[in-house]
A and B are shown apart, each in its own frame.
Chain A
Amino acid sequence: MNILLSHSSGEPIYWQIAGQIRSAILQGELAPGAALPSIRQLAKDLQISVITTKRAYDELEKEGLIDSVVGKGSFVSGGNQEFIREQQMKQLEKQIRELLDGCHSISVSTDQLIEWIRLLDQEGGK
């Protein structure tokens, strides 16, 4: 997993970290049980404060995506497959909405869209 921060994007640093770890978990790049870097190591590597890093981990813990064990570190949570599935569906839903907006703006009907999707699916691959 890579974490790349932008100090000029205006998006809070802790939010960027939480977002990037979250998507690594949701996309299965980090498997349940995988160890995350320690808070202090991550703060050092990113050259940011310990408190900022801790906040990112707290956020992920609240969402049930990671577990922190005192003295051992933080791990990707295994017990929350349902939540992960839900998050993945949510992300997909967002993309579908965008797709629908795109269709409406150039007058493609929903039926046409569905037909189009079927066609692409039958062609297979990309």
Chain B
Amino acid sequence: MNAIEVQGICKSYKNYRLSDVTFQVPKGYITGLIGPNGAGKSTIIKAIMGLVKPDQGSIQVLGHGAEQGEGRYKQEIGYISDESIYYDWLSMEQMKKIIAPFYPAWDETAFQRYMELFELPLRKKIKDCSKGMKMKYAIAIALSHNPALLIMDEPTAGLDPVFRRELLELLAEYILDDQKTILFSTHVTTDLDRIADYVTFLNRGQLIFSDTKDGVLERYVLVKGGKELLDNDVRREFVGVRETGIGFEALSADRGGTVSMFGDSVMYQQPSLEDIMYFTVKEARLRV
């Protein structure tokens, strides 16, 4: 079953557009939405939240159409925006008093616990909070109404490595119950290398792939070898190539084919999601 179904979404802006983006976010798992800055991650997330109206296509969230006016299903969503969406001049306590009544399932004990865990002083004004503190506050708010679906837009931007690890731990705890779903956009893919179950990759408003992370990592292979092996036919086999005076490094999306082509003449490595993103994005830039 899917918590979110994005079907053929198109949206044109002046300088860029989303073209025919289709993917699913399966219920009970963590899905990572990756891509470089400007890939369309935030636009897709806003469309899922009903904040952006697509030109074409449809989006189903927890069984409801996202474009409809009816917003009650949003109680089931914990949304963490990539920018601070709170009133700056209020304290965190005051802001919470405004937000909490919107959620019948608000759990004040949980909220207090998160505030303590994240070391957030309730009386501090939001404008005096650091970027990291604001993000922690947004996470505390989102988790305190026990949502079935957590949507996070770049949650780890502005967080130090210690809290980033703690957040990943929190997310794993949150999906212990197999009814909960997380969609998580980031360009810091190391966060996802470990815990993501599914990965959806956007570049320049287009879907590159949407698959299980294990499937993606098994399909791609990183090849390192001597320059003399590269000619135009060979280059075409790769998603992207990085050439230097002392050899080349290239990404292939067909591990089996590449291994049978090169045999023992090159070195093979397991790429990370970052490697996959780097070579794909770099190549797309060259082709424009």
A91 CB, nearest partner CB in chain B, Å: 27
A50 proximal to B (CB < 8 A) = yes
How many of chain A's residues touch chain B, expressed as a range?
A: 10 to 19
A44 proximal to B (CB < 8 A) = yes
A41: chain B residues within 8 A (beta carbon): 176
A14 proximal to B (CB < 8 A) = yes
B172: chain A residues within 8 A (beta carbon): 43-44, 47
| Contact of B194 with A48 in the complex, beta carbons under 8 Å | yes
A27 proximal to B (CB < 8 A) = no
Give residues of chain A (85-110) contacting chain B, Cβ–Cβ below 8 Å: none
| Contact of B214 with A55 in the complex, beta carbons under 8 Å | yes
| Contact of B212 with A51 in the complex, beta carbons under 8 Å | yes
A residues bordering B, Cβ < 8 Å? 7, 10, 12, 14, 40-41, 43-44, 47-52, 55
Secondary structure class of chain A's binding surface, majority of residues: helix
Give residues of chain B (56-113) contacting chain A, Cβ–Cβ below 8 Å: none
B218: chain A residues within 8 A (beta carbon): 12
Bound complex: CA A10 to CA B198 (Å): 20
A7: chain B residues within 8 A (beta carbon): 194
| Contact of B214 with A14 in the complex, beta carbons under 8 Å | yes
| Contact of B175 with A40 in the complex, beta carbons under 8 Å | yes
Given contacts A50-B29, A51-B29, whether A44 and B196 have CB atoms under 8 Å apart is no
Q: Which residue of B lies closest to A11 (CB)?
A: B270
Given contacts A14-B214, A43-B172, whether A48 and B178 have CB atoms under 8 Å apart is no
Bound complex: CA A88 to CA B169 (Å): 37
B196: chain A residues within 8 A (beta carbon): 49
Q: Which residue of B lies closest to A46 (CB)?
A: B194
B residues bordering A, Cβ < 8 Å? 28-30, 168-169, 172-173, 175-176, 178, 194-198, 212-214, 218, 269-270
A12: chain B residues within 8 A (beta carbon): 214, 218
| Contact of A40 with B29 in the complex, beta carbons under 8 Å | no
Closest 9 CB pairs of A and B: A44-B172, A51-B197, A49-B197, A40-B176, A47-B194, A50-B197, A51-B212, A48-B194, A49-B195
B164 CB, nearest partner CB in chain A, Å: 12
26 A-B contacts, Cβ less than 8 Å apart? A7-B194, A10-B269, A10-B270, A12-B214, A14-B214, A40-B175, A41-B176, A44-B169, A44-B176, A47-B169, A47-B172, A48-B195, A49-B30, A49-B195, A49-B197, A49-B213, A50-B28, A50-B30, A50-B175, A51-B29, A51-B197, A51-B198, A51-B213, A51-B214, A52-B214, A55-B214
Bound complex: CA A3 to CA B29 (Å): 22
Q: Which residue of A lies closest to B28 (CB)?
A: A50
| Contact of B212 with A47 in the complex, beta carbons under 8 Å | no
Q: Which residue of B lies closest to A45 (CB)?
A: B172
Given contacts A14-B214, A44-B169, whether A49 and B175 have CB atoms under 8 Å apart is no
B212: chain A residues within 8 A (beta carbon): 51
Bound complex: CA A52 to CA B178 (Å): 15
B173: chain A residues within 8 A (beta carbon): 44
B194: chain A residues within 8 A (beta carbon): 7, 47-49
| Contact of A47 with B213 in the complex, beta carbons under 8 Å | no
A44: chain B residues within 8 A (beta carbon): 169, 172-173, 176
A55 CB, nearest partner CB in chain B, Å: 7
Q: Which residue of A lies closest to B198 (CB)?
A: A51
Bound complex: CA A14 to CA B142 (Å): 32
A50: chain B residues within 8 A (beta carbon): 28-30, 175, 197
A10: chain B residues within 8 A (beta carbon): 269-270
Bound complex: CA A55 to CA B213 (Å): 12
Q: Which residue of A lies closest to B270 (CB)?
A: A10
Q: Which residue of B lies closest to A43 (CB)?
A: B172
Q: Which residue of B lies closest to A39 (CB)?
A: B178
